[in-house]
Amino acid sequence: MKSTSNTEKPRVVATIPVGAEPVGVAVDVHDHVFVTNRRANTVSVINSVTNTVSATLNVGLRPESVATDPQFGVYVANGGNFTVSALDRFHTLVATIDVGGPPGPPPPDMLRVAVDHLMSRAYVANRGLHRVSVIGISSDPPALSLDFTDVEGPLGVAVDPVSHRVFVTQPDHNTISVIDATNHDVVRSIPVGPHPTGIAIDSQKRRVYVANSGFRTVSVIDTTTGGVAEIDVGQSPTGVAVDSHGAVYLSHPDGLVRVIDPGSAGVIARIPVGSQPQGLAFEPHSNRVYVANGGDGTVSAIDVAGS
């Protein structure tokens, strides 16, 4: 990230109305930002050039997470009925994939998804079934694989595009499980802070950032050495994203996004956004971080370079 001097700081440059209770955010390579609206059962598509909603897509019940692939499309994890909506590159629904779940109405925060493009897979963290399932995204239509990994209470999920290992948060166990993509075994369990939820990977710096929503820290995992460090960032960090220069953005229920400098490991900015911000994602073409404000139905676009 560019130097955040007194005249140049990250700031909100647009507030975009979307649907009811936006929670998950992902970007693609075509200047699109996808936002899951949990209470509307829709996904809003934002044009990052104009910062306006260009489409509203109907998906499954209570969409909680979204991931994209540059070749095969968009994948939406619907926690209300344990399905994944698969959309092609033109945002047309091509499959609704049942990943399974326990009987009865599920509570919130049941399903999240991440994509490994080179492996042509989507990984679905299914908190209801205590497993991480695999979807083959190159098949036509995309289909659930017989392969899965048993993980107790998985929620946040992220893929290292270099090692192809899958990192999964376990909020009820204060740990991260690391899954090997070759045999789908858990190869390491890493203790972190209380109630880890959001997770993001900086593959260039070989770091994994974990938002410990039950406390006030972010756990930083060095994937080369295996070491874990803690950074105090303020109460209840929920979502986490990393920009192209390694700066780390954290959403907090107090309506702030805090920014960590990767060099000093300190908080260098506090950015007011909307009510109850949750998921967030960095969009490299516009050099902005998009934040889903679950409490007021908006998305905040943060210019990471400021003015």
Q: Give the three-class secondary structure for 256.
A: strand
Predicted pLDDT of residue 206: 96
Q: What are phi and psi of 286, to 5 degrees?
A: -90, -10
Can you give the pLDDT at residue 305? 80
In tens digits, what is the pLDDT along the chain, a chain of 307 residues?
A: 333 334 468 999 999 999 999 999 999 999 999 999 999 999 999 999 999 999 999 999 999 999 999 999 999 999 999 999 999 999 999 999 999 999 988 999 999 999 999 999 999 999 999 999 999 999 999 999 999 999 999 999 999 999 999 999 999 999 999 999 999 999 999 999 999 999 999 999 999 999 999 999 999 999 999 999 999 999 999 999 999 999 999 999 999 999 999 999 999 999 999 999 999 999 999 999 999 999 999 999 999 985 3
What's the predicted TM-score (pTM) here? 0.95
- Long-range Cβ contacts of 142-148 (<8 Å, 24+ apart): 142/72, 142/75, 142/86, 142/94, 142/95, 142/97, 143/95, 143/97, 144/97, 144/98, 144/99, 145/121, 147/184, 148/184
3-state secondary structure of 119: coil
Task: Give CA–CA dist 143/291, Å, rounded.
Answer: 30
The single-letter code of the amino acid at 5 is S
Q: What is the model's pLDDT at position 306?
A: 52
**Alpha-carbon span 154 to 112, nearest angstrom:** 9
CA–CA separation, 143 and 121 (whole Å): 10
